[in-house]
């Protein structure tokens, strides 16, 4: 009897959550963009924090190294999968993580250029204590989309059966959320930009899962074969860990 081909699945309830949450966040982000006042006032309310060097340093560190920290956590889970059977399911998810990040990049970056929303520093000259300059448009937030695109596949797909898994899921969401908030604290993005990035990241999970399953099926990747090919995926994730701080 042939071994089953590797496949990754989202439960029906999780898929409903992804669809509803992504749609809701996208609509809310567009509503905030159109309404403008709340977006502006929320961003300006953080001006006083931008005068604190410690807060600024922390936010800059989160913004620069947060995605790499998520990659490190995922790589630690991958390493644990070879020692602890409960973590073996991580191996099939690594390709989904890479495809999710790729989709967030390939969709989000062109979408920025198409929509062309100016950065807060350009729209709120003289009002916003912006920290740093940015060459790309504002909507959606690339840091929000990409950090969540790294974290969400594990959070949504991997079964939360043991306490350690739940702790890792919490850590991933916490780090990604702090990256998202750091973009607001630094004056780089409006709240609506970050919400749009989160909506995009959610949509990327089922897209990435479908693509990964197609690769597994086309290559007839059995669970045994996966143990070999997944090491290449881990190497790519490690390379991204080193590269991301320089984006």
For 55-99, the pLDDT digits (tens) are 999 999 999 999 999 999 999 999 999 888 889 889 999 999 999
Specify the pLDDT at position 132. Answer: 66
Domain locations in the chain as residue ranges: 12-246
Write out the CATH class of domain 12-246.
mainly alpha
244: tokens are 């991301």
Contact 154, 97 (CB under 8 A): yes
Question: What whole-number distance in Å separates Cα of residue 54 and Cα of residue 99?
Answer: 35
What is the token pair recorded at 175? 């780090």
Quote the mean pLDDT of the chain.
92
């Amino acid at each position: 009897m042939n071994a089953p081909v590797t496949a990754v699945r989202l439960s029906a309830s999780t898929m409903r959550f992804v669809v509803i949450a992504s749609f809701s966040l996208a609509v809310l982000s567009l509503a905030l963009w159109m309404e403008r006042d709340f977006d502006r006032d929320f961003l300006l309310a953080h001006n006083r924090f931008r005068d604190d060097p410690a807060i600024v340093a922390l936010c800059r560190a989160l913004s620069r190294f947060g995605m790499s920290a998520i990659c490190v956590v995922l790589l630690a889970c991958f390493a644990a999968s070879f020692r602890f059977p409960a973590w073996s399911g991580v191996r099939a998810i690594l390709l989904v993580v890479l495809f999710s990040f790729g989709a967030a990049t390939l969709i989000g970056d062109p979408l920025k250029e198409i929509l062309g929303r100016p950065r807060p520093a350009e729209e709120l000259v003289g009002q916003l204590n912006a920290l740093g300059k940015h060459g790309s448009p504002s909507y959606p937030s690339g840091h929000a989309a990409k950090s969540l695109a790294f974290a969400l596949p594990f959070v949504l797909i991997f079964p939360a059966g043991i306490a350690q898994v739940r702790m890792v899921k919490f850590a991933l969401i916490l780090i990604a959320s702090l990256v998202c908030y750091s973009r607001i604290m630094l004056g780089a993005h409006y709240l609506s930009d970050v919400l749009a990035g989160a909506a995009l990241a959610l949509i990327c999970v089922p897209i990435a899962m479908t693509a990964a399953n197609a690769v597994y099926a086309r290559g007839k990747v059995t669970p045994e074969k996966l143990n070999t090919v997944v090491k290449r995926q881990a190497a790519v994730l490690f390379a991204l860990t080193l590269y991301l701080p320089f984006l």
